[in-house]
Structure 1
Amino acid sequence: MTREEQKEERRQAILMTALTLFVEKGYHETKVSDIAAAVPMSTGLMFHYFKSKEELLMELVQTGKNFTGVTAGAEGVPGDVFLKGMLNGLFEYVKKQPYVSNMFVLMSQARRAGMPEDVRKLAMSVEATENTARLIEKGQKDGIFRKGDPKLLAVCFWSAIQGIMEEMTINKELESPDPEWLISILRV
């Protein structure tokens, strides 16, 4: 393994450790020394990778925001088919990479008052609900999805997923639900 690969591996270990601690203890209650000890490394060495705890949080939230980009790719696919495929992929990914459910929890926490304002703004800029609302609106015109405010339906849909992800962070043995259950929130 090259030095650069080792450095990147260590950087990822810091990110994943911080993610876990931020979710379990909360951002404000987690100290940089807690993250460094859990990696394990010295606190001083950790500052070679990230200048501050806020920078570390910002990178995690940016990663979370990047994940939500998949909600924009439904061109030419019926809304229910797209959402079912997206959920199948999401739940499969959570089985292989359990940190994904932690990312949902962190993204929710990052939107709350009291978080660093630049991090909060980034978390609030996630467009998953808006993308899904546009998809629902088109699906309503096509007769696939029920009538109602597309934005509110999208909020209900994503709130159900958020709740599932939060439960998956608490109960690692919890099975993924059938995506059809979640799509049924929207269907006629």
Structure 2
Amino acid sequence: MSAFIVDPEHIHVLLWAASRPTSPYGPLVWYYDNPSREGRLTDDAIDTVGQMLVDENAASVNYRYDEDDAYIYAYQRPRYTTWSGVEIKALHCYEYQSCEHPAGAPAKPTLLPRLERRLIGELPGYDDAPWAISSLDTPPPNDGPTPTRHVTHRPSRCPRRCGHRLCGVFRCAVAGALGATGGCPPAAGMVRSPHL
């Protein structure tokens, strides 16, 4: 997958997620320079932090492809503020797009993990989940539908090593049940696995 400069809206969503007031955490704070300096996402700093993220992303793309399409960043409230959980994936996308060059911005190494921890802590059910699990614990009842995996998840190879790409929801039609032995012909189709 190739690296690219993320859209300003992508940065808006990340900064919106980091700056919205959450209890009991308060404003997002991170430390850098061998934790002697503190960064705090305030209204006065939001454009600077956004520009730091854009510059980091552009430096990564430039290092990889010798292209520099950085832009001047100015924070705006995102077009939509009902993302709920998608911010974590947007953060992972940003991290991937900004990982190509060896030297990172001074605040980046601690800002992004702090944001990720905050977003995970805001997930429904997180506060009610046990901190530690022992053999005496039982999971809470799941009243909602069982989550399903989609074809867009990371594909893997057919367990019969025929070369067909799978994603856990599908199995090779000729291979039979997952874990079977033998080889699949190249023209085998994919069918939904009854086991998943």
The TM-score normalised by the length of structure 1 is: 0.25
| TM-score in terms of structure 2 length | 0.24
Q: Which protein, 1 or 2, shows the higher relative CO under an 8 Å CA cutoff with sep ≥ 6?
A: 1
